[in-house]
């Protein structure tokens, strides 16, 4: 068999991984074997958190709606659960993202909706 | 409508697929556009913006004031501009709609708050080419500074007119599947196709029952 030196084949592969990990902290961006592991962990986390992101935002919107509704109304119906119940009863199709954003940006509109819907 | 609530809601929530595309080729007149910020969820935006200066065609079947108001601003650009005036675009009057007009529109299974003159990115609309006109019919809410037209579930006869600007792709997302200690890893790159549309106008909501801030004030006076 002819003698084959490995040259820079492995180095090319590792350079790409090192570029991906270039902003990581400490040894995680310097040591080759650690770099490979950290890239895998990073990508796995990114995958998993793309689904978590959807859950997180929904939770954020719900908390925001709860806060805004609780502040505005002096009546007893000042909770998120009541607002949502009345939204479904009144056959509105607005989702939580829109309601939360309207509460922040167009507060008047949300007050009008809440007033109109909550019996 | 009330009797078939559950069934109608489920059918309405399915993906939206109708748009009418009238493809005209706009002669691109060089207006200077101010930058428009797309709506992004969960970030608070500053709402200061200038209405769109993009050229629009008069819509033939709809007799709307906005179409006629636009025909006057189209005239000045044709005057020969002197070479010294660099990017002095002729001052267009913003088309007259109520201040703070916005609509909540459902496109591609997602809801967006939409202002006339801004652009949004939606899921890819199949078969739409650049500069196609689009009418979005699923308008869930129309609002202004003082009043609000709440759709149950849709504001009837309200339409949002938009123009397709670009059919593009989202940024690449690397989907990495990995099982530890089992020597299984797969790398897939994915770019989700999207369409950028610019909202032209929101029309057709005038005859719908609306709620105003005065109603709230009256009720609060009555309660307290």
- Residue B94: the pLDDT is 60
Residues of B in contact with A112 (CB under 8 A): 147-148, 150, 211-213, 215-216
Q: Kindly determine whether residue A106 and residue B100, on different chains, have CB atoms separated by under 8 Å.
A: yes
Decide if pLDDT at B95 tops 90.
Answer: no
- Residue A18: the pLDDT is 94
pLDDT digits (tens, 9 = 90+) for A32-55: 999 999 999 999 999 999 999 999
Q: What number of C-beta contacts closer than 8 Å exist between A and B?
A: 98
- Residue A110: the pLDDT is 87
Q: How many C-beta atoms surround the C-beta of residue A83 within 10 A?
A: 24
Torsion sign (Cα): B154, B155, B156, B157: negative
- Residue B79: the pLDDT is 45
Question: Pick from A46, A91, A106: which is nearest to B153 by CB?
Answer: A91
Nearest to A96 by CA among B103, B144, A104: A104
Q: Kindly state the tokens that stand for B33.
A: 């556009």
Length, in residues, of chain A: 119
Decide if pLDDT at A9 tops 70.
Answer: yes
Range with the largest mean pLDDT of A45-49, B61-65, B96-100, B152-156: A45-49
Residues of A in contact with B100 (CB under 8 A): 106
Report residue A29's pLDDT band, with 50, 70 and 90 as the boundaries.
very high
pTM for this prediction: 0.69
Residues of B in contact with A102 (CB under 8 A): 104, 113, 143
Q: Which residue of A has its CA nearest to B2?
A: A91
Which of residues B83 and A111 earns the better pLDDT score?
Answer: A111
Which of residues B18 and A83 earns the better pLDDT score?
Answer: A83
Report residue A74's pLDDT band, with 50, 70 and 90 as the boundaries.
low
- Residue B57: the pLDDT is 40
Torsion sign (Cα): B111, B114, B119, B125: positive
How much of chain B, in percent, has pLDDT values that exceed 90?
35
Decide if pLDDT at B183 tops 90.
Answer: yes
Residues of A in contact with B212 (CB under 8 A): 112
- Residue A69: the pLDDT is 87
Torsion sign (Cα): A99, A105, A111, A113: negative
**Model ipTM value:** 0.84
Q: Kindly determine whether residue A97 and residue B111, on different chains, have CB atoms separated by under 8 Å.
A: yes
- Residue B203: the pLDDT is 87
- Residue B207: the pLDDT is 80
- Supply the mean pLDDT for chain B: 70
- Supply the mean pLDDT for chain A: 90
Decide if pLDDT at B28 tops 60.
Answer: no
Which of residues A77 and A28 earns the better pLDDT score?
Answer: A28
- Residue A57: the pLDDT is 96
pLDDT digits (tens, 9 = 90+) for B111-146: 999 999 999 999 999 888 889 999 999 999 999 888
Q: Kindly determine whether residue B5 and residue A91, on different chains, have CB atoms separated by under 8 Å.
A: yes
Q: Kindly determine whether residue B176 and residue A46, on different chains, have CB atoms separated by under 8 Å.
A: yes
Q: Kindly determine whether residue A93 and residue B176, on different chains, have CB atoms separated by under 8 Å.
A: no
**Mutant choice from A41, A96, A106, A114 vs B, greatest count of B C-beta within 10 A:** A106
Decide if pLDDT at B24 tops 60.
Answer: no
Distance CA A34, CA A11 (A): 15
Q: Kindly determine whether residue B224 and residue A74, on different chains, have CB atoms separated by under 8 Å.
A: yes
């Amino acid at each position: 068999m002819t003698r084959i030196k490995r040259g820079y084949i492995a180095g090319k592969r590792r350079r790409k991984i090192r570029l991906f990990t270039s902003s990581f902290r400490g040894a995680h961006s310097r040591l080759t074997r650690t770099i490979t592991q950290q890239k895998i962990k990073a990508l796995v986390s990114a995958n998993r958190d793309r689904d978590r992101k959807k859950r997180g935002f929904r939770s954020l919107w719900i908390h925001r709606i709860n806060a805004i509704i609780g502040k505005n109304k002096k009546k007893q119906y000042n909770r998120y659960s009541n607002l949502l119940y009345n939204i479904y009863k009144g056959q509105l199709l607005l989702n939580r993202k829109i309601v939360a954003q309207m509460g922040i940006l167009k507060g008047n509109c949300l007050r009008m909706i809440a007033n109109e819907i909550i019996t | 409508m009330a009797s078939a609530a559950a069934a109608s809601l489920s059918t309405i929530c399915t993906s939206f697929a109708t748009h009418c595309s009238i493809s005209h080729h706009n002669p691109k007149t060089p207006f200077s556009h101010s930058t428009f910020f797309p709506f992004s969820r969960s970030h608070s935006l500053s709402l200061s913006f200038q209405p769109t200066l993009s050229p629009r065609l008069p819509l033939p079947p709809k007799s709307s004031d906005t179409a006629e108001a636009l025909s006057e601003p189209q005239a000045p650009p044709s005057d020969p501009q002197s070479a010294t005036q660099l990017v002095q675009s002729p001052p267009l009057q913003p088309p007259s709609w109520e201040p703070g007009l916005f609509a909540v529109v459902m496109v591609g299974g997602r809801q967006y708050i939409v202002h006339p003159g801004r652009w949004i990115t939606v899921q890819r609309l199949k078969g739409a080419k650049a500069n196609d006109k689009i009418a979005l019919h699923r308008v869930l809410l129309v609002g202004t500074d003082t009043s609000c037209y709440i759709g149950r579930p849709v504001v009837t006869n309200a339409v949002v007119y938009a123009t397709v600007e670009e059919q593009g792709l989202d940024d690449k997302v690397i989907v990495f599947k990995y099982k530890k200690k089992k020597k299984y890893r797969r790398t897939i790159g994915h770019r989700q196709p999207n369409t950028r549309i610019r909202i032209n106008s929101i029309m057709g909501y005038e005859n719908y029952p609306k709620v105003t801030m005065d109603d709230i004030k009256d009720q609060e006076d009555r309660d307290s």
